[in-house]
Amino acid sequence: MRKSKPSYIRKEYAWAYLFVAAPVLGFLIFGVAPLLYSAWLSFTSWDLVTPPEFVGFDNYIEVFHDEKVYKSLFNTVFMMLGIPIGMIVALLLAIMMNRPLKGISFLRTIYYLPVISPIIAVSLLWQWILNQDFGLLNQTMWSWFGIEGPNWLGDANWIKPSMILMGVWGGVGGTMVLYLAGLQSISSSYYEAAEVDGASAFQKLRLITIPLLTNIHFFVIVMGVIGAFQSFSQIYVLAGDGGPEYSAATVVFYIFENAFKYFNMGYASSVAWVLGIIIFIVTLLQFRLSKKWVYND
C-alpha cells in the first residue's frame, strides 16, 4: 500500500486542502496563536507602556485572593437563575403554540422579536422601563396595584433580578422555537396511548413531553451556561461601573475593566484563563452528567 497515489487523487487532495485552507489559517492566526500568547501574558505584568515583566504565578495567586473575582463570579452564576425560569416559560409557550391556532406564526414572530433585537438597544429600552421614578414598570405597579416598586438598577439587591427579568424576556423566544421543533418531533402515538390509559394532561406533560425533550433541555442548559458566563454588553450599558457595590459585574466585565480601563493586560489574561477553565470544566461536567439523564434514540 506504500505505492504513491494516482495523480488524479493527489490532485483532489490538493484541491481539498485549498478549500479548507482559509478556516485552518484563521484557526491558527485567530485561535491558536492568541491562545498561546494569552497563556504567556497571564504570567506577566504588563501595562502596555513599560515592557512586560515575567511574574510567574503571581497573577494567579492574586486571582484567588481577589474579592472582586469572587463577587463577579457569584453575580455571573446568580444570573444563571434566568436559565431555568426561561426554560419553564419557553416550554409552556411552546406547548401552547403547538396547537393549530389561527395566526400562530404571527404570535411566534412577536415572541421572537427580542431575540433578534440588538442587545444594546434592548438594554437601553429596559433602562428606561426600570427607571425608579418614571419607569413603566414601577409606574404600572403603582397605578394598578398600589405597590411601590424598588430602585431596580440602583439597588444592589435588585439589579441582578432586573438583569434576569430582562434576560428572560429577551431570550424566551429563542428557547421556545427550539422546544417547538422538539415537540413536533414527538410522535402523537405516545399521547394516544396515554389517553387510552386515562392519563391527565399534567401526567402527559410530566411523563411524555418533558422526558422526550431531554436533548433540548440539555442543549438549552449548556448553551445558556456558556452564554451566561460570557455576558457583558447588558452590564456595560445598565451598570457601567459594575452596579451598586459591584453587584452586577460579571467576570467578563471585570476582565474588560482590567484590560481596557486599567491596562492590566497580564492580570486580565489570568482572570480570563481562570474563567475559560471554569467554562471548560462546567461544560465537560454537563456532558458527563448528561449520560445519566439525556435520552437519545
178 binding other proteins? (CB under 8 A): yes
CA 206 vs CA 183, 200, 202, 203: distances in Å: 14, 10, 6, 5
Binding flag, residue 196, other proteins (CB under 8 A): no
Q: Which of 55, 63, 93, 164 binds other proteins (CB under 8 A)?
A: 93
Give the list of residues 6+ apart from residue 5 with CB closer than 8 angstroms, or none. Answer: 13
User: Considering the rule CB under 8 A, would residue 125 count as an interface residue with other proteins?
Assistant: yes
Of the pair 84, 227, the CB lying nearest other proteins is at 227
Q: Which is nearer to other proteins, 131 or 247 (CB)?
A: 131
- Residue 296 three-state SS: coil
Q: Which of 72, 224, 252, 257 binds other proteins (CB under 8 A)?
A: 252
Give the separation between CA 174 and CA 111, rounded to whole angstroms: 8
Please tell me what DSSP assigns to residue 4: P
Size of the site for other proteins (CB under 8 A): 91
Cβ atoms of 194 and 204 closer than 8 Å:
yes
Task: Please select the residue that binds other proteins; options are 154, 161, 174, 244, rule is CB under 8 A.
Answer: 174
Check: CB of residue 63 under 8 Å from CB of residue 271. Answer: yes
Please tell me the distance from the alpha carbon of residue 244 to that of residue 248, in angstroms, as a whole number. 7
Per CB under 8 A, contacts with other proteins among 30-49 are 30-31, 33-35, 37-38, 41, 48
How far does Cα 118 stand from its chain's mean position? 15
Nearest approach, Cβ of 291 to other proteins (angstroms)?
Answer: 19
Shortest Å, Cβ 174 to other proteins: 7
Q: Which of 1, 49, 110, 196 binds other proteins (CB under 8 A)?
A: 110
Query: DSSP per residue over 100-121, as a string?
Result: --TTHHHHHHHHHHHHHS-HHH
Per rule CB under 8 A, is residue 228 in the interface with other proteins?
Answer: no
Task: Rule CB under 8 A: say whether 211 interacts with other proteins.
Answer: no
- Rounded to the nearest 10°, the torsion over CA 143, 147, 153, 154 is 120
In this chain, which stretch among 57-65, 80-88, 191-199, 261-269 interacts with other proteins, using CB under 8 A? Answer: 261-269
DSSP 5: P
Q: Should residue 265 be labelled a site residue for other proteins when binding is judged by CB under 8 A?
A: yes
- Does residue 285 belong to the site contacting other proteins (CB under 8 A)? no
Residue 24 engages other proteins in binding (rule: CB under 8 A)? yes
Q: How many other CB atoms sit within 10 Å of the CB of residue 200? A: 10
Which residue of 64, 134, 145, 202 would you call a contact of other proteins, by CB under 8 A? 134
- Per-residue contact track with other proteins, 50 to 89, x per CB under 8 A? ----------------------------------------
Return d(Cα 120, Cα 235) in angstroms, integer: 10
